[in-house]
Structures are given as structure tokens and as C-alpha cells.
């Protein structure tokens, strides 16, 4: 067992209102610079939709992530042979137009325009060339299903849906969508790190944050191709790639990342997970049908004495173990099993989990066109979801419908249980049926409800101390240790001959 | 006199500038060492330009390197006329390929607005010296013939004398051939080669110094620890900070 700690995250999609506050907070701190205007380390997509960059999920186009290769995995569009062969021109790399051409407006023209009959306008100018442009697209052009024929209907996940199911999704009365906020997943098996020819990308041992060393990046651009989530971006001005740093300077001082701190829906949770690094290869290369289960299994129970002992032996600080025991992520992912990884079939073992959205199940349109909120079960059962389960399973479980259904049953049971507690109009039989189907008890339902709806800042973000003070001591030898010879010696004092 | 300047002094100036400049740029200005790829801004026109140019120039580079390292083997290979022809035509082909690539790249940079936004003067200097270098090589091969043999028997001894700090300029200065064009091109080719070496630290040429060969034997995943977590817990180790760059994967 080789235990390491990892900062992991949960995004609760039922609570996301798609306000983009996270994106703006991130942009203001990190990417409001020349060359980075087009980058959105945090972006919010509407699903169904093509996302940002366009069709990023379609690995037939971008060749991102890993593919199973015997007992192991190999990079789809990068790697030692393919990467070096394509180093002079990378055929699978998205270019600027796959994201969007960033622009600003000539506001000064509004003031400087001479008096005339026409309303002065501030024309859009490209932030790259400075010339007037016709705006083609933006980072969230498919927001709230706008431009559905161009965007939502091109959603890559539809390839698993029948034509009838697709049509049903776009009937006005049955239309459904949800938001999908995305940041770097800081994967356990990062394809970007493996693809970098110059070794500029690395995973931090202490907390698992994946970073790009700006001094070592040589613009070979392989990480942009290899990341299946397209969360590594090429800065066209500096000639260096950049990515989400999980606000590590904030983490090290005990604050959550800016996107999470600013989230008005409080959908984001962050905490430590302990995992067994020796199992990464086996899990990443397992059969697609079991990859979600195996992925969840790699995270260890931080309350297990054997795990605690092994973690200590591996140098994990007690404060980190304690943070892992209080981790909200552990509760969502392991205890309650209601959070799922995004596109696990990419085999990077992402550390960002999503509670899938249940909201569309709440009501349906009856045959006479009225909006029917009262079904026989009051809260419509999960079978009456508007969104085809297959769509969500394509997003979160590599096509396993049952896994999504299991989560929905639990989320539904929590609602019924809370209805029983607060309004008290649910019969015992109804409650028991729902709770048994979801196989949770009332206490668990209350705990889920509490962490979902009432959790405080400290409950949502459990950040272990970074122990930088120890790191500095170790690097600089500033401190004194038992048995040494006082201050001032940089070297071990040795007796002369 | 000019010969002594170009083939006796220029090599040392170029090599000194190259060594000092490159080490300074790599160690002090690491952020500026990049291939400065512009594929992100324009990918289609880049394909043929970059592929033709780079594969051509890489092959030519290694061809010259082989001629420098094992000249006898090259001469022996050229013993048979057929093999000589194969070698000469292959090299000529790569030269044409890199010239076509270079012209495509120049056209791309000159005509694409987005690329112009990330261009600077040194990019055009790079194009100029590369054009002179490749064109002089091609013309030399066209007028002079059998350059691979000549390189092994004349150029290699000259280069070795340069690296031995005892430059034998006469080898180049007293070259005689019936074709004055070939002679001019040879001298241009050599002088321009040293010029390229000399301007490496000031241009995007630096990216070939950091060609990622170590990727071939590196482990795919890279995990870096700030300090050695295991050692911090042993009281017997008084100076655990020794493991400054402790890497564990």
C-alpha cells in the first residue's frame, strides 16, 4: 500500500444555477492577461450542449485521454512515439477557433463619435489582432440551450441515445437541461503529465495538485491534446501552456479556491481523500464496465486503523488524516455514493465528482397539456425523469444506467424523507418503500440533506494545513534538532583529522 | 584576409557567444526558452510548412553530424557509385523539402494577421539566415556535386581543427574548383552556419537545444514532493534537508 493524499472536489449539480460567478472569480484572479483571454480554467456549460472548447468530449476529434492497451493503458493522441512524431505539427490539437476569438468593444468610439443622425456604436475588436471582427462564438454560447440546432443537438453524448429519445429531449414541453461547471480534475492518472515531452507537468506529492512548470514548458503542446477534458490551455503570447492551479496559494493558506469560495449556490465541496497509489495502473486499465466502482475503491477509509497506520508510515501528517476523516467529499463519494466522476471512460481517474441533477423528475406535463406536479407519489418517482437516464450515464458512469439510477433513488429518498419530517403527509408505507429502494435510512437522509442544504463554510471546505513551515525548515535547515550542535551550522560539524 | 576572419575567427566568436548566451538564457531566463509554437493561432498552413521544413532540416543535421563523426564510413559508403548517388539524392531531397517548408512558413507568417501579432524582428532574421543556409547548400550541391565525399575529406578535418583550437583555415581558403559558383556557395554555407550557431541564444533557435529526447526513457507520470515526508519523522536524521530535490514516483 502506498498511501497518498489528494485534494478532491464535489459539485452538486442540483444546486447549480448557472450564474458563472465561479468563472468570473477565476478569470479575474488568473487569466485576465494577454494570451490568456480565451482561457476559462473554470467554465460552466449547459448540457445538452457542445461545451467549451466545442465538442471537447468527442475524443474521435481530439484524441484525448487514455485507451485500454492490454494490461495497461496508453495515451490516445500523445505519448512517446505519437507525441514525438507529431511534435512539429500536432494534428489533434484544438486551435483558437475551436474555443472562440476573444474580443472587446471600442467603447471610446461611443464618446468620440461626431454628432450625427446615427447612434454611435462600439464595434467588437479581436483581442488578438485588434481588428474589428464579426463575433462567431463565445465560451458559453450554448447557455440555457440557446442556439439549440447548432449546439445542443450536436451534443456528443447523444450518440448513445435513440432518435426518438433525442427528439423527446427537444420538445418544448419536455425540454430539460442542467449546468455543468468544470475545472481541472487534478486526476490520479493525469494524461497531461504523461504527455509532456519536456516533463514540465507534474503532480504535487503532498496534495495531488497538477501543475505546469512555466520554466520548463517548451510549447510542445501535447498536454492540450492529451487532456480529455481540455483543461490545459496554450498561451499564444508567452508560448507556454497553462492550466487550473486549484488556487494552490489559497489552499496553502487554508482558503478554498476562488471558484469555490465565490459560488453563490454553494454547490462546491472540497476535501482530502486518501488513496492507494499502487493501484492506479490496475484501476485505470480495468474493464470499462467496472471502472466507476474500481475508481471509487481506490479511495481508502480514513477511519480504518490500518489505513491510518500506513498513511503515517508514508509521511502523511496527522492533520491531513484528520482532514480526510472530516472530508465532505468522502461522505458524498464513498459513504453515500451519490457523487460520480465525469466521463470515467477517459481513464484519467478524475478527482472532481458530480452529484447528478434530479430536478427534472419533479413534475411532468400531462396529456391535456397541464403542468402536473401531483403524481400518485407526490414527488414523481425517478422513473418519470424527463431527461433520459442514458444521457446522464453517458456523462457520469461510462454508460451504466443502473449507477445513475441508484444515485437518483437516494436523492429522491432524501426528498421524501424531508417531506415526511417537515410536512408529514407521507404515509409510512410510501416512506419505507422509497427508503428501502434507495437502501438508506432516515439518519443518512438527514445527513445528506444537512450537508447539501445547510452546511457551513467549514463543513464544505475541509482544507488540511499545508505544513509549509516544516517544508521550509527541511529546505533551509533553519531549525535545530535534538543531537545537533547548536545554531549556525549548515553542515554536520565534523571533527578534523 | 576575409577567409581568416570568416573561418578562423568567426567560429570562435560564434561558439563563445553560443555557449555563454545559451547557458545564461537557460539558467536565468528559463521562462523564455520555448519553441513559441503558433499552431494554436493557425494550424492548417502550418502543417506542410512545418513538417517539410523540420523533417528536412533534422535529417540534414544528422547527416552533417554523421559526416563529422565518422567520415571514413561515409567515404567507404560512397565507394560504390550507386550508393554515392543514393546518398546525394536523398540529401538533396531533404534539402529541397526544408527549402519548400521554409518558403511556406515565410508565406504563412507574412500573410496571416494572427501570426504577425506574435512575430518579432528576430523571426525574420531567422528566416533570412535559414534561407541563405539552405539555398547555399542546394546551389553548392547543384554546381559542385558529391558534397558528401568532399565534406568527409575536407570539412571534417577543418571542423576538427577548429575544435582542437588550431584552425586550419587553409583547408577552406585554398579550396580550388573549376566552378567559382560552387566555391562561393561553399564559403557562404560555412560562414552562415557559424552565424546561425552564434545567434542561437538570441532567437527561437534555442528550442532545438531543449529537444525532448529524455521523454523517450522518462517514466510517464511525474510526482514531485516538496520535501521528504518520510524523513521528517525520524529523529535520528539530524539533517534530513539534504534530500532537497527528493523525487518519488
Residue predicted with more confidence, A317 or B197: B197
Does residue A331 share a domain with residue A241? no
Domain boundary among A230, A260, A290: A260
Which secondary-structure segment (H or E) carries B182? helix B180-199
Looking at the structure, do residues A311 and A448 belong to the same domain, yes or no? yes
Same domain, A42 and A128: yes
A203: which chain B residues are within 8 Å (Cβ-Cβ)? 221-224
Determine the residue of chain A that is closest to B45 in CA distance: A89
**What is the reported pTM?**
0.90
Contact B106, B50 (CB under 8 A): no
- CA–CA separation, B202 and B68 (whole Å): 26
Domain count across chain B: 2
Q: Which residue of A has its CA nearest to B112?
A: A129
Mean pLDDT, residues B227-246: 50
Which residue is closest to A189 within chain B, CA to CA? B221
Same domain? For A139 and A28 the reply is: yes
The pLDDT value recorded for residue A6 is: 96
User: Are A220 and B212 a contacting pair at CB < 8 A?
Assistant: yes
What is the complex's ipTM, to 2 decimals? 0.89
Does the beta-carbon distance from B46 to A219 stay under 8 Å? Answer: no
Tell me the three state secondary structure of residue B238: coil
Cell of A165: 429519445
* Residue A307 within a domain: yes
pLDDT at residue A470, as a whole number: 63
Q: Answer yes or no: do A238 and B34 touch at CB < 8 A.
A: yes
Ranges under pLDDT 70 in chain A? 173, 359-384, 468-497
Are residues B240 and B200 part of one domain?
A: no
Contact A244, A310 (CB under 8 A): no
By residue range, what is the domain housing residue A344? 265-460
pLDDT band at B248 (very low <50, low <70, confident <90, very high): very low
Say which CATH number the domain at A365 has.
3.30.70.20
pLDDT at A7: 96
Beta bridge partners of B157: none
| Crossing angle between the packed helical segments A389-396 and A401-422, to the nearest 10 degrees | 110
Q: What is the reported pLDDT for A476?
A: 52
Beta strands in A159-239 (DSSP E): 178-182, 201-204, 210-212, 232-235
**CB contact (8 A) between residue A129 and residue B207:** no
Of A270, A285, A286, A293, which Cα lies nearest the Cα of A208? A270
Query: Could you tell me which chain A residue has the CA closest to the CA of B235?
Result: A482
**Can you tell me which residue has the cell 494577454?**
A34
The C-alpha atoms of residue A300 and residue A323 are separated, in whole angstroms, by 13
Cβ of A84 and B54 within 8 Å? no
The whole-angstrom distance between A176's CA and the closest CA on chain B is: 35
Cell numbers at residue A20, please? 458563472
Work out whether strand A201-204 and strand B223-224 pair parallel, antiparallel, or are unpaired.
parallel
Same domain for A61 and A159 = yes
* Relative orientation angle of helices B81-111 and B121-144, to the nearest 10 degrees: 150
Q: Between chains, do A221 and B248 touch, taking CB under 8 Å as contact?
A: no
Closest by Cβ to A90, choosing from B39, B54, B235: B39
What does pLDDT average to over chain B? 89
Q: B181 and B232: one domain?
A: no
A291 and A208 inside one domain: no
Give chain A's domain count.
2
Neighbours of A321 (CB within 10 A): 20
Express each pLDDT in A350-402 by its tens digit: 999 999 988 655 555 566 666 655 455 555 566 667 778 889 999 999 999 99
Tens digit of each residue's pLDDT (9 = 90 or more) over B143-195: 887 888 889 888 999 999 999 999 999 888 888 777 888 889 999 999 999 99
**With contact defined as beta carbons under 8 Å apart, do A60 and A296 qualify?**
no
Shortest CB distance from B221 goes to which of A194, A204, A492? A194
Residues of B in contact with A130 (CB under 8 A): 117
Per-residue confidence band for B240, with pLDDT thresholds at 50, 70 and 90: very low
pLDDT of residue B12: 97
Cα–Cα distances (Å) from B49 to A157, B104, B108, B200, in that order, read: 36, 5, 8, 21
Distance from CA of B68 to the nearest CA of A (A): 26
Which residues form the domain of B249? Answer: 219-249
Q: How far apart are CA A224 and CA A234, in angstroms?
A: 7
Residue of B34, B35, B232 lying closest to A470 (CB–CB): B232
Q: Is the pLDDT of residue B238 over 50?
A: no
Same domain, A218 and A326: no
* Interatomic CA distance for residues A103 and A105, integer angstroms: 7
Handedness of CA A447, A450, A452, A458 (dihedral sign): negative
Is residue A468 situated within a structural domain?
Answer: no
Which residues in chain A are contacts of B51 at CB distance < 8 A? 88-89
Domain-terminating residue out of A239, A260, A281: A260
* B116 and B234 fall within a common domain: no
The pLDDT value given to residue A411: 92
Q: Do B227 and A474 touch (CB under 8 A)?
A: yes
User: B70 and B44 in one domain?
Assistant: yes
| A380 and A236 part of one domain | no
* Binary contact (B39, A95; C-beta < 8 A): yes
Amino acid at each position: 500500500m502506498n498511501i497518498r493524499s489528494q485534494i478532491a472536489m464535489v459539485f452538486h449539480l442540483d444546486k447549480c444555477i448557472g450564474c458563472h460567478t465561479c468563472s468570473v472569480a477565476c478569470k479575474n484572479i488568473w487569466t485576465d492577461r494577454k494570451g490568456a483571454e480565451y482561457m476559462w480554467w473554470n467554465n460552466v456549460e449547459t448540457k445538452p450542449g457542445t461545451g467549451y472548447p466545442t465538442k471537447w468530449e468527442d475524443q474521435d476529434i481530439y484524441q484525448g485521454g487514455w485507451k485500454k492497451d492490454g494490461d495497461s493503458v496508453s495515451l490516445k493522441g500523445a505519448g512517446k512515439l505519437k507525441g514525438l512524431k507529431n511534435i512539429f505539427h500536432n494534428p489533434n490539437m484544438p486551435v483558437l477557433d475551436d474555443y472562440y476569438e476573444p474580443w472587446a468593444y471600442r467603447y471610446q468610439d461611443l464618446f468620440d463619435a461626431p454628432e450625427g443622425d446615427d447612434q454611435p456604436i462600439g464595434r467588437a475588436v479581436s483581442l488578438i489582432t485588434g481588428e474589428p471582427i464579426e463575433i462567431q462564438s463565445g465560451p458559453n454560447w450554448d447557455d440555457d440551450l440557446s442556439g439549440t440546432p447548432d449546439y445542443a443537438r450536436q451534443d456528443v453524448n447523444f450518440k448513445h441515445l435513440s432518435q426518438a429519445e433525442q427528439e423527446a429531449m427537444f420538445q418544448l414541453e419536455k425540454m430539460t437541461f442542467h449546468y455543468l461547471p468544470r475545472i481541472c480534475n487534478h486526476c490520479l492518472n493525469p494524461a497531461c503529465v504523461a504527455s509532456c515531452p519536456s516533463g514540465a507537468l507534474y503532480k504535487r506529492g503532498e496534495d495531488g495538485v497538477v501543475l505546469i512548470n512555466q520554466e520548463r514548458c517548451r510549447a510542445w503542446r501535447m498536454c492540450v491534446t492529451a487532456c480529455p477534458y481540455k483543461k490545459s490551455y496554450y498561451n499564444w503570447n508567452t508560448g507556454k501552456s497553462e492550466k487550473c492551479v486549484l488556487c494552490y496559494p489559497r489552499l496553502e493558506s487554508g482558503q478554498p479556491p476562488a471558484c469555490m469560495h465565490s459560488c453563490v449556490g454553494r454547490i462546491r465541496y472540497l476535501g482530502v481523500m486518501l488513496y492507494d497509489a499502487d493501484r492506479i495502473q490496475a484501476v485505470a486499465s480495468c474493464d470499462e464496465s467496472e471502472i466507476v466502482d474500481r475508481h471509487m475503491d481506490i479511495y481508502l477509509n480514513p477511519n480504518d486503523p490500518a489505513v491510518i497506520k500506513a498513511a503515517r508510515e508514508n509521511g502523511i501528517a496527522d492533520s491531513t488524516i484528520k482532514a480526510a476523516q472530516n472530508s465532505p467529499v468522502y461522505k458524498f463519494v464513498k459513504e453515500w455514493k451519490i457523487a460520480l466522476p465525469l466521463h470515467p471512460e477517459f481513464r484519467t481517474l478524475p478527482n472532481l465528482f458530480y452529484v447528478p441533477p434530479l430536478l427534472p423528475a419533479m413534475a411532468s406535463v400531462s396529456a391535456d397539456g397541464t403542468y402536473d406536479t401531483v403524481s400518485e407519489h407526490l414527488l414523481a418517482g425517478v422513473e418519470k425523469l424527463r431527461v433520459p437516464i442514458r444521457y446522464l450515464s453517458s456523462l457520469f458512469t461510462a454508460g451504466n444506467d443502473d449507477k445513475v439510477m441508484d444515485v437518483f433513488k437516494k436523492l429522491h429518498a432524501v426528498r421524501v424523507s424531508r417531506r415526511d419530517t417537515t410536512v408529514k403527509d407521507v404515509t409510512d408505507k410510501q416512506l419505507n418503500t422509497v427508503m428501502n429502494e434507495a437502501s438508506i435510512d432516515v439518519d443518512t437522509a438527514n445527513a445528506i440533506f444537512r450537508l447539501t442544504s445547510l452546511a457551513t463554510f467549514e463543513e464544505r471546505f475541509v482544507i488540511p494545513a499545508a505544513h509549509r513551515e516544516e517544508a521550509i525548515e527541511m529546505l533551509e535547515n533553519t531549525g535545530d534538532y535534538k543531537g545537533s550542535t547548536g545554531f549556525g551550522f549548515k553542515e554536520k560539524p565534523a571533527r578534523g583529522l | 584576409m576575409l577567409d581568416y576572419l570568416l573561418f578562423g575567427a568567426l567560429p570562435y566568436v560564434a561558439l563563445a557567444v553560443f555557449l555563454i548566451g545559451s547557458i545564461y538564457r537557460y539558467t536565468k531566463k528559463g521562462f523564455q526558452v520555448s519553441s513559441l509554437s503558433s499552431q494554436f493561432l493557425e494550424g492548417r498552413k502550418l502543417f506542410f510548412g512545418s513538417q517539410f521544413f523540420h523533417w528536412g532540416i533534422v535529417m540534414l543535421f544528422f547527416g552533417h553530424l554523421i559526416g563529422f563523426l565518422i567520415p571514413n564510413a561515409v567515404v567507404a559508403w560512397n565507394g560504390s557509385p550507386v550508393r554515392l548517388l543514393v546518398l546525394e539524392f536523398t540529401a538533396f531531397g531533404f534539402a529541397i523539402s526544408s527549402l519548400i517548408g521554409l518558403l511556406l512558413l515565410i508565406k504563412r507568417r507574412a500573410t496571416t494577421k494572427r501570426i504577425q501579432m506574435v512575430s518579432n524582428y528576430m523571426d525574420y532574421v531567422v528566416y533570412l539566415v535559414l534561407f541563405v543556409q539552405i539555398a547555399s547548400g542546394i546551389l553548392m550541391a547543384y554546381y559542385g556535386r558529391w558534397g558528401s565525399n568532399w565534406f568527409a575529406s575536407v570539412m571534417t578535418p577543418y571542423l576538427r581543427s577548429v575544435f582542437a583550437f588550431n584552425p586550419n583555415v587553409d583547408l577552406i581558403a585554398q579550396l580550388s574548383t573549376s566552378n567559382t559558383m560552387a566555391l562561393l556557395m561553399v564559403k557562404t554555407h560555412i560562414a552562415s552556419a557559424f552565424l546561425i550557431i552564434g545567434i542561437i541564444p538570441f532567437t527561437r533557435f534555442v528550442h532545438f537545444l531543449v529537444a525532448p529526447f529524455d521523454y523517450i526513457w522518462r517514466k510517464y507520470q511525474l510526482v514531485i514532493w516538496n520535501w521528504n515526508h518520510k524523513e521528517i519523522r525520524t529523529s535520528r536524521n539530524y539533517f534530513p534537508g539534504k534530500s532537497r530535490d527528493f523525487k518519488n514516483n
